[in-house]
């Protein structure tokens, strides 16, 4: 990750990295940083870390759980499936339940359309199954 001084990150980037690791998980964040280190994408990683993960996620007024729920709806609407999968994991870390996440997809489907909801649910299901295991059914 780049910075004004080689080897040093700004306090805002450090604060953003802390939040990002807490929400998305340290392994996820390190993979993202490693994958983009020394590439054109590295500057975007730093920008997002500072301006989204610090400036937005650290604002007062909404807790992380609420921010995660909002993110799910927006990412479904944008059909940003790569980001959605990671944010499902983040939503679980921030206290949302499986039922609440599924309800968020259903709710978004009413406003974004069935195709957006159905394609999002495929991604959400994969993430939920990976994190929590398959939904148990009465046999």
Distance from the Cα of residue 25 to its chain's centroid: 10
Q: Residue 76: what pLDDT? A: 98
* Backbone φ/ψ region at 127: left (φ over 0), alpha (ψ -120 to 50), beta: alpha
Q: What is the dihedral of CA 19, 24, 26, 27, to 10 degrees?
A: -160
Domain of residue 95: give its range: 62-139
Residues 94 and 135 in one domain: yes
Band of residue 8 on the pLDDT scale cut at 50, 70, 90: confident
Distances (CA, A) of 112 to 52, 70, 100, 131: 24, 14, 18, 26
Please report which residue ranges of the chain form alpha helices under DSSP H.
Answer: 11-24, 26-36, 42-48, 64-78, 81-93, 98-112, 114-132
Residue reference for tokens 């309800």: 103
Q: pLDDT exceeding 90 applies to what percent of the chain?
A: 90
Question: Average model confidence (pLDDT) for the chain?
Answer: 94
- Is residue 43 within 8 Å of residue 65, measured between CB atoms? no
Is residue 120, in this structure, part of any structural domain at all? Answer: yes
The pLDDT tens digits of the residues spanning 27-70 come to 999 999 999 999 999 999 999 999 999 999 999 999 999 999 99
DSSP-derived letter for residue 134 is S
Q: Residue 138: what pLDDT? A: 60
CATH of the domain at 90: 1.20.1290.10
- Is residue 61 within 8 Å of residue 70, measured between CB atoms? no
Name 8's bridge partners. 5
- Count up the domains in the chain and report the number: 2
Residues 43 and 67 in one domain: no
The pLDDT tens digits of the residues spanning 19-29 come to 999 999 999 99
Band of residue 4 on the pLDDT scale cut at 50, 70, 90: very low
pTM here?
0.89
Residues 54 and 98 in one domain: no
Residues 76 and 120 in one domain: yes
Among 43, 59, 75, the domain-final residue is 59
Residues 51 and 68 in one domain: no
């Amino acid at each position: 990750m780049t910075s004004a001084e080689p080897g040093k990150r700004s306090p805002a980037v450090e604060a953003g990295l802390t939040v990002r690791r807490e929400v998305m998980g340290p392994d996820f964040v390190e993979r993202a940083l490693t994958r983009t280190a020394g590439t054109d994408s590295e500057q975007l990683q730093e920008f997002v870390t500072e301006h989204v993960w610090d400036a937005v996620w650290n604002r007062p007024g909404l807790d992380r759980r609420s921010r995660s729920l909002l993110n799910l709806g927006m990412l479904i609407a944008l059909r940003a499936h790569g980001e959605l999968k990671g944010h499902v994991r983040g939503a679980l870390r921030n206290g949302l339940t499986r039922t609440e996440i599924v309800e968020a997809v259903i709710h978004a489907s009413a406003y974004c359309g069935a195709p957006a909801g159905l394609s999002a649910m495929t991604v959400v299901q994969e993430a939920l199954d990976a994190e929590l295991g398959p939904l148990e059914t009465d046999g």
